[in-house]
Amino acid sequence: MAGDMLIYNIISVVLFLLACAGVYYTYGLVVRIIKKLRAGGKG
């Protein structure tokens, strides 16, 4: 039981970190696109 709980906890942490990384990456991508659009509009 203890081993199963440990594995479950590790998987939960890994999934949480992947989710955070995905959100951060997507946010950065959106910001870059918005900056490009704004720069293009001004130019």
Ordered by start, the domain boundaries in the chain are 1-43
Using CA atoms, how far apart are residues 6 and 12, in angstroms rounded to an integer?
10
Please give the pLDDT value at position 16. 98
On whether the pTM is more than 0.85, the answer is: no
Half-sphere exposure of 25 (CA within 13 A, CB side): 6
Count of positions (residues) in the chain = 43
Mean residue pLDDT of the chain comes to 92
Q: How confident is the model at residue 18 (pLDDT cuts 50, 70, 90)?
A: very high
